[in-house]
Structure 1
């Protein structure tokens, strides 16, 4: 290998000393200027394309690879022209894989960012992709790529009828990573398209998003296995092992995953619904493959497994109708007029802006309690995700002020004590 590097270096020094080297360098500079001109003319149109759909992503991808790929195309044309005039073209041809490598790196990095968004994985993967691709380019230019591939292919062993080699394992890893990245990228694009579709309900958007991601990842996995020459019939053994795994360690994960699809299909819980699960109260912020994100009024997100929403009792405050009735209990003294107190309570119902006029607020005499007459005001609100405490507070303050102006007493808890018999007192001295 060292002899090949020495010979390559001597050839390069010899070519630099010849005039043909400078002709090729001039051709490369001319191709670069033409590529910059093309990028300036077409890049503005590609970068200024508005929207977030597939067309926008395609145009943005084209803009990122326009300069390196146009450079590679012009270098290929320049190499063909030099060959037609029987002039040396080695230097021009060497820059073609360099330009292609630059374009591939930019395209893969853009796809990673779109597939994984702001995940820390992208920042780690970007330099790794660049190093791998540039290493392949260097090996190709040094005529060491083919011997290196042959060495990795020779490191193999037979497993039944299949031959497993280091080269095959590397190919499988790279193809799986690429296929999964493309699948996640397409799934994210479809998800963005569904979010902008006004005629599709939120639950169906989540359902289509989950199904498309699962389908695309499955297809990507099968294509990756087929691309590296693995017989898909061997997956029957893997399927049996997966079944055993689901029966033991992965049972709960599979249950949550399937329960997520059930929630989407029966539409019992949808994004935006206000639900109560046990002691957790809030509105559904997101439906994930394994869990549901429920956000309460304090801004705290609770991750509830999908299986819990299927097997346990769930109160959906907005299943068919978002209107919720709020009850406010007040006691007045037996010495006051309950009808006057009921009229004042009804007037105080509109002191909260969240109270609906339809259905109308109502007041009723509930009970003759120990300490006073128990009255109940019933009002309706249409935003249960914000809770009922603020509504009760506004109305209670208004009732207290109205009762104070009308001299209506809110009684304290009281008990009457009757002594039937007692001890005789000693005679006075």
Structure 2
């Protein structure tokens, strides 16, 4: 809140100065006093306030994007250049020259000045739309009564709606007839059918994931060789972060068309299996009792459901026993739980004299066979 107030003061101060300077100039002019020195100060104060306002909106709309830092000096240079041209009287002739460079496209007149205005208005409108979408997103995150998937869905829809409105407002602001966009809309539809098919598919798949709530932020999923928890749902992809902190960007379409294992879809409890072999010379029931005692060595193991031990099979090298425990935090993986329990089992077996066998083969040689003589 302190940072927001400080930013507001930095933005409002130049505009307040411009208003006071303009008022002072009008008063001096009314009393026929010299006011020429105040005339250039008003656009300077307005330019300073406009620069700070645009930079603030950019930082809020694009957050920590590297484009913001590179765009800030460009904005400052362009605005100060316009101020210099205005003060020197060259701005009006320059705009007239740019407006004269034009051609007709049907009933629409396109000039260099109009094109520049269109680009600037679209950039400004898109930036304002993204800023408003981010404000709405932050307000949605503060509401604990709305599920994460609904928050993501509302964020996607509001951003799409605001960008569409911003685009239409920008076209209308520069005098382009919206009815002339019918041909452009048809061409855009053809483009979506061919070149932008995958992008459109990922975009629509993102809405499907949000609506059916099959994948939500915080879910632990496995997609192919990728395992981790869903960190964020984007318009085109899902950010899956593994235990090493590495983010994998998986296209939304892959989550719709391929098999996805959701470890926390309805219940976050996950069963972990630990396989141990003991020698045929040892008592398997004693080994099973020791394994049950070692199950709760890890604090992540749940009391309910209770851990169980099963005799799986009689293998070549020993008797296979399987300890089954449950955990409620699959996003942290199961390797640490297995490691802690395996170490505890090894110590308990060593103290009880139970042997963990290693792979072995018996070689039986029959006597009385004659070997062929070498030539």
TM-score by length of 2: 0.93
Deviation digits for residues 159-214 of structure 1 (CA, Å, limit 9, x no counterpart): 11111111111111111111111111111222222222211222122111111111
Q: Does 1:112 align with 2:55?
A: no
Q: Out of 313-322 and 369-378, give the one that drifted further.
A: 369-378
Shift of 1:271: 1.2
Question: Of the candidates 255, 263, 279, which is equivalent to residue 209 of structure 2?
Answer: 263
User: Is the Cα–Cα contact under 8 Å of residues 154 and 165 in structure 1 kept in the other structure?
Assistant: yes
Which deviations, in whole Å up to 9, do the C-alpha atoms of 1:272-322 show, x marking residues without a partner? Answer: 111111111111111111111111122221111111000000000111111
3-state DSSP of counterpart to 1:91: coil
Number of the residue aligned with 1:141 = 87
User: What is the aligned partner in structure 2 of residue 173 from structure 1?
Assistant: 119
1:340 aligns with 2:286: yes
Aligned to 2:228: 282
Distance in 2 (alpha carbons) for counterparts of 1:396 and 1:124: 54
Distance 1:200 1:339 in 2: 51
Residue number among 155, 175, 186 corresponding to 1:229 in the alignment: 175
Provide the aligned length of Structure 1 versus Structure 2.
372
Distance 2:355 2:196 in 1: 63
Q: Select which of 324, 336, 339 maps to 2:270.
A: 324
| Structure 1 residue 161 corresponds to structure 2 residue 107 | yes
Aligned residue in 2 for 1:238: 184
Describe the shift of the 1:414–1:130 C-alpha distance in structure 2 as closer, same or farther (beyond 3 A).
Answer: closer
Deviates more, 1:63-72 or 1:133-142: 133-142
1:391 pairs, out of 337, 346, 353, with 337
Alignment partner, residue 423 of structure 1: 369
Q: Distance in 2 between matches of 1:425 and 1:283?
A: 64
1:37 corresponds in structure 2 to: none
SS in 2 for 1:92: coil
Larger Rg: 1
Structure-1 residue corresponding to 2:150 = 204
Structure with more of its chain in helix, by fraction: 1
What's the CA shift for 1:354?
A: 1.3
With 192-201 and 105-114 compared, the bigger mean Cα shift is at 192-201
Task: Tell me which residue corresponds to 2:357.
Answer: 411
Q: Is the 8 A contact 1:61 1:107 kept in 2?
A: no
- C-alpha distance in 1, partners of 2:47/2:140? 34
Residues 1:371 and 2:317 aligned together: yes
The answer to whether 1:215 aligns with 2:215 is no
Q: Secondary structure at the match of 1:90?
A: coil
1:72–1:96: 8 Å Cα contact kept in structure 2? Answer: yes
How far, CA to CA, are the matches of 2:221 and 2:306 in structure 1?
25
Q: 1:18-43: per-residue Cα shift (whole Å, max 9, x none)?
A: xxxxxxxxxxxxxxxxxxxxxxxxxx
Could you list the runs of 4 or more consecutive aligned residues of structure 1 that deviate by over 6 angstroms after TM superposition?
none
SS in 1 for 2:272: strand
Shift of 1:359: 0.8
Shift of 1:424: 4.6
Query: Quick one: distance in 2 between partners of 1:421 and 1:190?
Result: 87
- 2-structure distance, mates of 1:404, 1:144: 92
Q: Is the Cα contact below 8 Å between 1:327 and 1:378 reproduced in 2?
A: yes
Matched residues in 2 for 1:149 and 1:424: separation?
110
Deviates more, 1:405-414 or 1:299-308: 405-414
Query: What is the CA deviation profile of residues 254-285 of structure 1, one whole-angstrom value per residue up to 9, with x for unaligned ones?
Result: 11111111111111111111111111111111
Deviation at 1:81, TM superposition (A): 1.5
Structure 1: stretches of 5+ with no match in the other structure: 1-48
Identify the range of structure 1 (318-327 vs 111-120) with the bigger mean alpha-carbon deviation.
Answer: 111-120
Q: Report SS of the residue matched to 1:93.
A: coil
Structure 2 counterpart SS, 1:96: helix
TM-score, structure 1 normalization: 0.82
Which segment drifts farther, 155-164 or 91-100? 91-100
1:70 aligned onto 2:16: yes
RMSD after superposition: 2.0
